[in-house]
Amino acid sequence: MNVRAPHSNNVVVQSLTQIGLCGLFLLTLLASVPRSFRYACETLRQLWFVGAMSLAIIMVCGLFIGMVLMLQLYNVLSIFGSTSASGMVVALAVYRELGPVVTALLFAGRAGTSITAEIGLMRATDQIDAMEMMAVDPIAYVATPRFLAGLIAMPLLCCVFCAMAIFGGHLVGVTWLGIDNGTFWSNMTAVVVVHTDIVNGVLFKSLVFGAVVSLIAVFQGFTTPPTSEGVAYATTRTVVASSIAILALDFVLTAFLM
């Protein structure tokens, strides 16, 4: 699929063209999903690469975000004498917003950039054209497995992030600051609603963010100019576009899901 944008100096026209081409690229990706089933091994390999290999950064960041969140909340809530609500607020903040958003931002930085750079280099070194010439559809073999892997990995990574954040909050709140363990868990379980907070907050949002980040990463890789500077710019664009898309979509989704 040739998805190179026509040249224009107008930034608005360029951006709209990119969005339009990205939409067309998404349709091509979705159409190639049945064909990509024969490359299930490649999808699994990519799942390992974008999912399992991102675990370390997700776990560490989740832990520290939970810890710092609890620390801040404890300090603020102690003014009102309601430190026992800290665990509950940490859980709501993590499930509803911080979990999906921060996981998606980290995912864009860790996996999105590597997907873009890898595909961009494949294009620059004619590997994509070589596949075309060997009658192997590069969309089905290269793009779709990476897209599907991102789609599957993001909700799983988000769950791990949330678990680590709660663990971090527990570590600081209960172990260090002395909040009662029973109060910490009972307040949390009393307030957190599975459908609203877990299904809509964690799973649905992270699924959407996973699709958006993977789509942007794969699209940027496929449309990168075949030069080292082109690959560098495409990688940067993946982070910038993904971050903006995640934050904007988070607002829209929250507004609809509340």
Q: Which residues bind other proteins (CB under 8 A)?
A: 121-122, 125-127, 129-137
What is the DSSP code string of 33-83? HHHHGGGHHHHHHHHHHHTGGGHHHHHHHHHHHHHHHHHHHHHHHHHTT-G
Cβ-based nearer residue to other proteins, 101 or 119:
119
Contact status, residue 54 vs residue 155, Cβ threshold 8 Å: no
- Which pairs with CB-CB distance under 8 Å and at least 24 residues apart come from 125-131? 128/222
Shortest Cβ distance from residue 39 to other proteins (Å)?
A: 9
Cβ-based nearer residue to other proteins, 141 or 184:
141
Shortest Cβ distance from residue 55 to other proteins (Å)?
A: 22
Shortest Cβ distance from residue 131 to other proteins (Å)?
A: 8
Cβ-based nearer residue to other proteins, 2 or 10:
2
Q: What tokens appear for 190 in the block?
A: 């009393």
**What is the spatial distance between Cα 155 and Cα 157, in angstroms, rounded to a whole number?**
5
Cβ-based nearer residue to other proteins, 52 or 129:
129
Residue 15, Cβ neighbours under 10 Å: how many?
Answer: 12
Cβ-based nearer residue to other proteins, 33 or 71:
33
Shortest Cβ distance from residue 148 to other proteins (Å)?
A: 18
Residues with Cβ < 8 Å from 105, sequence gap 6 or more? 242, 243, 246
Shortest Cβ distance from residue 127 to other proteins (Å)?
A: 6
Shortest Cβ distance from residue 188 to other proteins (Å)?
A: 45
Please choose, from the candidates 120, 167, 124, the residue with its C-alpha nearest in 3D space to the C-alpha of residue 143.
120
Shortest Cβ distance from residue 46 to other proteins (Å)?
A: 11
Cβ-based nearer residue to other proteins, 53 or 93:
53
User: Which bin fits 234, alpha (ψ -120 to 50), beta or left (φ > 0)?
Assistant: alpha
Contact status, residue 108 vs residue 246, Cβ threshold 8 Å: yes
Contact status, residue 71 vs residue 83, Cβ threshold 8 Å: no
Cβ-based nearer residue to other proteins, 12 or 134:
134
